[in-house]
Amino acid sequence: MSNRIFYTKPSITQLETDYAADAAANGWGARCYDYLNRFESDFKTYLGSGFAIATSSCTGAMHMGLAALGVGVGDEVILADTNWVATVSPIVHLGATPVFVDVLADSWCIDPEEVERHITPKTKAIIATHLYGNLCDMDALLEIGRRTGIPVIEDAAEAVGSVWHGWRAGSMGTFGTFSFHGTKTLTTGEGGMFVTSDAALYEKVLTLSNHGRARGQTKQFWPDAIGFKYKMSNIQAAIGCAQLERIDDLINRKREILAAYMIRLSALPGITMNPEYTGTVNGAWMPTAVFHPSTGITREMLQQAFDAANTDARVFFYPLSSLSMFEDRPENVNAWSIPERAINLPSYHDMSEADIDRVAATLTNLISTRIYHNSTALQQSA
């Protein structure tokens, strides 16, 4: 049997290994934050943001950012129903109510019209999740934010390298969050980043991130508030520094793989993939194939086909409103329909052309089999 194709794995070179070894050997005492400070500085420069705080996860960055905005009991936070649970968990932990709205059929990102329709006097924030590298309509969302005074937050966990009309994903909202999990284009194993250009908000989150100890506090071990401990380690940051030096190569390879899939699958009926509209750049974190309902192809068929081909593939995120811990079941048609006929495709940095061919062939064979099955059924019923 052919070797298994994994859906993702990081690209780690000698540079990452050298930096991590240096941090492990020398990053202590007075140098304990050297790589951490460097990673934050380099990342905010890359992003074009005013401030950055490296965190242990994107979830932690979101938790602190929402807390700093005062999100709490009695508040509502609007977000896309199509999301990983990490985006909604901080809302629930803070005692606020998540409001799940539908996504657009083409980008799979939050629908601005649905956002507007669900705003109430209790709405405290709007979270725009850039899904799989696809971009939310930030012009529309930021305009809603300007008119209503409601902060728009960018969940850019999956969108390193994506650009909206000259602005990097994560740099446009009141604050942005990133993930550097081992599956991401830029990885530190685990980890994340909080970014903002709001100096006052940055100071609040900086205090929260260090057990509530304010930067100007002169008393040693004196917290000024109850805070969090979501700090990234210096060794993780060392890996991040190396990854950031290679960021253009990492993103370009992701985009090459998405383009390769599109070329191979372009002749197949009923498939759409990650869009890239005029004036934008899709960072292509996770190439995704969505099948038109008329094809009759389901998530389960796709999983079975890839398993038979000895290939990993991820299911599209289930709607958050389908999870047992939430009682509301809104009629979010796209958020509920798309996952039933979609699949995330493998896209790691060192995939070979033969690997890409194998993945594409799995989809081609499935569609061919389905078309044959449908035509045979039609002939038998005639």
* Burial class of residue 214 (count of CB atoms within 10 Å of its CB; 0-12, 13-18, 19+): middle
Q: Which residues of 253-276 are buried (b: 16+ CB within 10 A; e: fewer)?
A: bbbebbebbbebbeebebbbbbeb
Element (H, E) at 144: helix 138-148
Q: Sign of dihedral through CA atoms 61, 162, 143, 48?
A: positive
Instruction: State the CB neighbour count (10 A cutoff) for residue 94.
Output: 18
Task: Pick the catalytic residue from 44, 124, 184, 231.
Answer: 184
User: For residues 286 and 344, is the Cβ–Cβ distance under 8 A?
Assistant: yes
Residue 231, phi-psi category: left (phi > 0), alpha (psi -120 to 50), beta (remainder): beta
Q: Token pair of 243, please?
A: 């990854």
Q: How far apart are CA 117 and CA 235, in angstroms?
A: 45
Helices (H), 198-321: 199-209, 234-245, 247-265, 299-308
Nearest residue to 345 (alpha-carbon basis) of 335, 360, 330: 360
- Known active-site residue 184: yes
User: For residues 127 and 77, is the Cβ–Cβ distance under 8 A?
Assistant: yes
Q: How far apart are CA 359 and CA 68, in angstroms?
A: 44
Nearest residue to 343 (alpha-carbon basis) of 271, 263, 266: 271
Nearest residue to 111 (alpha-carbon basis) of 289, 354, 334: 334
Instruction: State the CB neighbour count (10 A cutoff) for residue 212.
Output: 16
Q: How far apart are CA 304 and CA 307, in angstroms?
A: 5
Q: What is the set of active-site residues?
A: 184
